[in-house]
Protein backbone atom coordinates (compact mmCIF):
# COMPACT_ATOMS: atom_id res chain seq x y z
CA UNK A 1 0.00 0.00 0.00
CA UNK A 2 0.94 3.62 -0.44
CA UNK A 3 0.19 5.91 2.50
CA UNK A 4 0.76 9.62 1.91
CA UNK A 5 0.57 12.65 4.20
CA UNK A 6 -0.34 15.97 2.62
CA UNK A 7 0.55 18.67 5.16
CA UNK A 8 -1.06 21.45 3.07
CA UNK A 9 -0.39 24.74 4.91
CA UNK A 10 0.41 23.09 8.22
CA UNK A 11 3.59 22.49 10.22
CA UNK A 12 6.74 24.55 10.46
CA UNK A 13 10.33 23.67 9.68
CA UNK A 14 10.92 22.60 13.29
CA UNK A 15 7.71 20.63 13.72
CA UNK A 16 8.29 18.87 10.38
CA UNK A 17 11.71 17.67 11.52
CA UNK A 18 10.25 16.38 14.80
CA UNK A 19 7.41 14.70 12.91
CA UNK A 20 9.73 12.99 10.43
CA UNK A 21 12.04 11.69 13.14
CA UNK A 22 9.12 10.18 15.02
CA UNK A 23 7.62 8.71 11.87
CA UNK A 24 10.95 7.29 10.75
CA UNK A 25 11.51 5.57 14.11
CA UNK A 26 8.02 4.07 13.88
CA UNK A 27 8.59 2.77 10.32
CA UNK A 28 11.89 1.17 11.31
CA UNK A 29 10.68 -0.25 14.63
CA UNK A 30 7.66 -1.96 13.08
CA UNK A 31 9.41 -2.91 9.79
CA UNK A 32 6.70 -1.17 7.79
CA UNK A 33 6.62 -2.28 4.16
CA UNK A 34 4.12 0.30 2.93
CA UNK A 35 5.44 3.05 0.72
CA UNK A 36 5.16 6.18 2.84
CA UNK A 37 5.15 9.71 1.43
CA UNK A 38 5.20 13.04 3.25
CA UNK A 39 4.48 16.33 1.51
CA UNK A 40 5.57 19.17 3.82
CA UNK A 41 5.24 22.88 3.00
CA UNK A 42 8.09 24.38 0.93
CA UNK A 43 9.59 26.27 3.87
CA UNK A 44 10.17 23.03 5.73
CA UNK A 45 12.12 21.32 2.92
CA UNK A 46 15.55 20.17 3.98
CA UNK A 47 17.99 17.32 3.62
CA UNK A 48 16.56 15.47 6.60
CA UNK A 49 18.47 13.02 8.70
CA UNK A 50 15.99 10.16 8.13
CA UNK A 51 16.01 6.74 6.46
CA UNK A 52 14.91 6.08 2.90
CA UNK A 53 11.64 4.63 4.25
CA UNK A 54 10.09 8.09 3.91
CA UNK A 55 9.62 9.61 0.48
CA UNK A 56 9.53 13.39 0.66
CA UNK A 57 7.67 15.34 -1.98
CA UNK A 58 6.15 18.72 -2.74
CA UNK A 59 2.49 19.70 -2.87
CA UNK A 60 3.00 21.83 -5.97
CA UNK A 61 5.71 23.44 -8.12
CA UNK A 62 6.00 25.61 -11.21
CA UNK A 63 6.73 23.80 -14.50
CA UNK A 64 10.07 25.52 -15.22
CA UNK A 65 13.66 24.99 -14.21
CA UNK A 66 14.00 28.59 -13.02
CA UNK A 67 12.99 32.06 -14.21
CA UNK A 68 10.73 35.01 -13.46
CA UNK A 69 7.75 33.42 -11.74
CA UNK A 70 7.30 35.49 -8.60
CA UNK A 71 6.28 33.44 -5.61
CA UNK A 72 6.80 30.08 -7.30
CA UNK A 73 9.26 27.22 -6.82
CA UNK A 74 10.87 25.57 -9.86
CA UNK A 75 12.97 22.52 -10.54
CA UNK A 76 16.21 24.23 -9.53
CA UNK A 77 14.89 24.72 -5.99
CA UNK A 78 13.59 21.15 -5.82
CA UNK A 79 16.90 19.71 -6.99
CA UNK A 80 18.65 21.33 -4.03
CA UNK A 81 16.63 19.02 -1.76
CA UNK A 82 16.68 16.03 -4.13
CA UNK A 83 12.89 16.11 -4.43
CA UNK A 84 11.52 13.61 -6.96
CA UNK A 85 7.86 13.38 -5.85
CA UNK A 86 5.08 15.85 -6.53
CA UNK A 87 1.31 16.21 -6.13
CA UNK A 88 -0.34 17.65 -9.25
CA UNK A 89 -3.97 18.64 -9.76
CA UNK A 90 -5.03 18.73 -6.11
CA UNK A 91 -8.57 20.05 -5.79
CA UNK A 92 -7.38 22.99 -3.68
CA UNK A 93 -5.07 24.04 -6.53
CA UNK A 94 -7.87 23.59 -9.03
CA UNK A 95 -10.58 25.38 -7.04
CA UNK A 96 -8.93 27.90 -4.71
CA UNK A 97 -6.07 28.83 -7.06
CA UNK A 98 -8.10 28.40 -10.25
CA UNK A 99 -5.54 26.19 -11.98
CA UNK A 100 -6.96 25.15 -15.34
CA UNK A 101 -6.77 21.63 -16.65
CA UNK A 102 -4.44 22.91 -19.43
CA UNK A 103 -1.98 24.27 -16.87
CA UNK A 104 -2.22 21.11 -14.81
CA UNK A 105 -1.47 19.04 -17.92
CA UNK A 106 1.54 21.31 -18.60
CA UNK A 107 2.80 20.64 -15.07
CA UNK A 108 2.25 16.92 -15.52
CA UNK A 109 4.26 16.87 -18.77
CA UNK A 110 7.09 18.92 -17.29
CA UNK A 111 7.52 16.78 -14.18
CA UNK A 112 7.06 13.59 -16.16
CA UNK A 113 9.88 14.72 -18.45
CA UNK A 114 11.97 15.13 -15.30
CA UNK A 115 11.17 11.67 -14.08
CA UNK A 116 9.12 12.61 -10.98
CA UNK A 117 6.77 10.27 -9.15
CA UNK A 118 3.50 12.11 -9.71
CA UNK A 119 0.45 11.82 -7.48
CA UNK A 120 -2.17 13.11 -9.89
CA UNK A 121 -5.44 14.07 -8.17
CA UNK A 122 -8.92 13.82 -9.62
CA UNK A 123 -12.35 14.08 -8.06
CA UNK A 124 -15.80 15.50 -8.58
CA UNK A 125 -17.55 18.37 -6.79
CA UNK A 126 -20.81 17.74 -4.91
CA UNK A 127 -22.99 19.06 -7.75
CA UNK A 128 -21.54 16.41 -10.07
CA UNK A 129 -21.91 13.61 -7.52
CA UNK A 130 -25.59 14.51 -7.18
CA UNK A 131 -26.07 13.84 -10.90
CA UNK A 132 -25.06 10.20 -10.45
CA UNK A 133 -22.23 7.82 -11.23
CA UNK A 134 -21.93 8.42 -15.00
CA UNK A 135 -21.64 12.17 -14.39
CA UNK A 136 -18.93 11.50 -11.80
CA UNK A 137 -16.90 9.37 -14.21
CA UNK A 138 -17.40 11.84 -17.04
CA UNK A 139 -15.96 14.57 -14.81
CA UNK A 140 -13.02 12.43 -13.71
CA UNK A 141 -12.19 11.42 -17.28
CA UNK A 142 -12.19 15.08 -18.31
CA UNK A 143 -9.51 15.63 -15.66
CA UNK A 144 -7.50 12.71 -17.05
CA UNK A 145 -7.55 14.01 -20.61
CA UNK A 146 -4.03 14.45 -22.03
CA UNK A 147 -2.48 12.76 -19.00
CA UNK A 148 -0.21 9.84 -19.92
CA UNK A 149 -1.89 7.04 -17.98
CA UNK A 150 0.92 4.67 -18.92
CA UNK A 151 3.60 6.79 -17.26
CA UNK A 152 5.40 4.33 -15.02
CA UNK A 153 5.81 6.81 -12.15
CA UNK A 154 2.14 7.79 -12.07
CA UNK A 155 -0.07 7.38 -9.01
CA UNK A 156 -3.70 8.49 -9.31
CA UNK A 157 -5.53 9.82 -6.25
CA UNK A 158 -9.31 9.89 -6.27
CA UNK A 159 -10.33 12.69 -3.94
CA UNK A 160 -13.99 13.73 -4.16
CA UNK A 161 -14.04 17.50 -3.53
CA UNK A 162 -16.97 17.26 -1.13
CA UNK A 163 -15.09 14.77 1.06
CA UNK A 164 -11.92 16.83 1.47
CA UNK A 165 -11.52 18.41 4.89
CA UNK A 166 -15.22 17.95 5.66
CA UNK A 167 -14.98 14.97 7.99
CA UNK A 168 -17.37 13.22 5.61
CA UNK A 169 -15.57 10.48 3.70
CA UNK A 170 -17.08 8.90 0.59
CA UNK A 171 -18.90 5.65 1.26
CA UNK A 172 -17.03 2.41 0.70
CA UNK A 173 -19.39 1.40 -2.12
CA UNK A 174 -18.91 4.76 -3.89
CA UNK A 175 -15.13 4.48 -3.64
CA UNK A 176 -15.27 0.93 -4.98
CA UNK A 177 -17.41 1.93 -7.93
CA UNK A 178 -14.98 4.66 -8.99
CA UNK A 179 -11.85 2.56 -8.36
CA UNK A 180 -13.24 -0.36 -10.36
CA UNK A 181 -14.02 1.92 -13.29
CA UNK A 182 -10.60 3.59 -13.17
CA UNK A 183 -8.85 0.23 -12.95
CA UNK A 184 -10.16 -0.68 -16.41
CA UNK A 185 -7.95 2.02 -17.94
CA UNK A 186 -5.25 2.65 -15.37
CA UNK A 187 -2.57 0.21 -14.26
CA UNK A 188 -1.01 2.78 -11.91
CA UNK A 189 -1.69 2.61 -8.16
CA UNK A 190 -5.02 4.18 -7.18
CA UNK A 191 -5.31 6.09 -3.90
CA UNK A 192 -8.34 7.41 -2.10
CA UNK A 193 -8.32 10.76 -0.29
CA UNK A 194 -10.98 12.75 1.57
CA UNK A 195 -11.57 12.65 5.34
CA UNK A 196 -9.56 9.47 5.88
CA UNK A 197 -9.13 8.85 9.61
CA UNK A 198 -8.01 5.96 11.82
CA UNK A 199 -11.74 5.18 12.20
CA UNK A 200 -12.44 4.55 8.52
CA UNK A 201 -8.98 3.59 7.18
CA UNK A 202 -9.55 -0.15 7.48
CA UNK A 203 -12.79 -0.04 5.51
CA UNK A 204 -11.30 2.09 2.75
CA UNK A 205 -8.07 0.11 2.51
CA UNK A 206 -10.10 -3.07 2.08
CA UNK A 207 -11.76 -1.72 -1.06
CA UNK A 208 -10.68 -3.80 -4.03
CA UNK A 209 -8.49 -1.77 -6.40
CA UNK A 210 -7.65 0.78 -3.70
CA UNK A 211 -3.87 0.80 -3.39
CA UNK A 212 -3.51 3.36 -0.65
CA UNK A 213 -4.48 6.66 0.92
CA UNK A 214 -3.71 10.35 0.48
CA UNK A 215 -4.41 11.92 3.86
CA UNK A 216 -4.75 15.56 4.88
CA UNK A 217 -6.10 16.42 8.35
CA UNK A 218 -5.53 13.04 10.00
CA UNK A 219 -1.90 12.99 8.85
CA UNK A 220 -0.92 16.24 10.55
CA UNK A 221 -0.67 14.53 13.89
CA UNK A 222 2.14 11.99 13.66
CA UNK A 223 0.48 9.54 16.08
CA UNK A 224 -2.70 9.52 14.03
CA UNK A 225 -0.71 9.02 10.80
CA UNK A 226 1.23 6.12 12.39
CA UNK A 227 -2.06 4.62 13.57
CA UNK A 228 -3.31 4.54 9.98
CA UNK A 229 -0.05 2.98 8.78
CA UNK A 230 -0.44 0.37 11.49
CA UNK A 231 -3.98 -0.41 10.30
CA UNK A 232 -2.58 -1.00 6.82
CA UNK A 233 0.11 -3.29 8.24
CA UNK A 234 -2.47 -5.32 10.17
CA UNK A 235 -4.65 -5.66 7.08
CA UNK A 236 -1.68 -6.94 5.07
CA UNK A 237 -0.93 -9.49 7.78
CA UNK A 238 -4.54 -10.70 7.77
CA UNK A 239 -4.31 -11.51 4.06
- Given a contact cutoff of 8 angstroms between Cβ atoms, the answer to whether 217 and 6 are in contact is no
DSSP string, 124-157: --HHHHTT-HHHHHHHHHHHHTT--TT-TTEEEE
For this structure, is 114 an active site residue?
no
Shortest Cβ 175–ligand 13P spacing (Å): 13
For this structure, is 102 an active site residue?
no
Residues forming the site for ligand 13P (CB under 6 A)? 6, 90, 159, 164-165, 193-196, 214-218
Shortest Cβ 76–ligand 13P spacing (Å): 26
| The one catalytic residue among 11, 90, 99, 124 | 90
The CA distance from 146 to 41, in Å, is: 28
Shortest Cβ 128–ligand 13P spacing (Å): 17
Q: Which residue is nearest to ligand 13P (CB)?
A: 216
The CA distance from 204 to 192, in Å, is: 8
| The one catalytic residue among 92, 99, 124, 159 | 159
The smaller minimum CB distance to ligand 13P, of residues 55 and 217, is found at 217
- Given a contact cutoff of 8 angstroms between Cβ atoms, the answer to whether 34 and 1 are in contact is yes
* Structure letter (DSSP) for residue 58: B
The smaller minimum CB distance to ligand 13P, of residues 179 and 214, is found at 214
Catalytic residue numbers, as ranges: 90, 159
Amino acid sequence: MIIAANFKTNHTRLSTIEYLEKLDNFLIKYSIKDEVFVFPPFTALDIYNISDKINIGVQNAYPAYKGSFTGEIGLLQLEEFKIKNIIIGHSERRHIFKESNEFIVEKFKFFKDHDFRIIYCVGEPKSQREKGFSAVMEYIYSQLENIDLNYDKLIVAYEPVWAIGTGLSAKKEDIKEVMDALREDIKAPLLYGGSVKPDNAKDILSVKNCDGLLIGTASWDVDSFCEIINISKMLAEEK
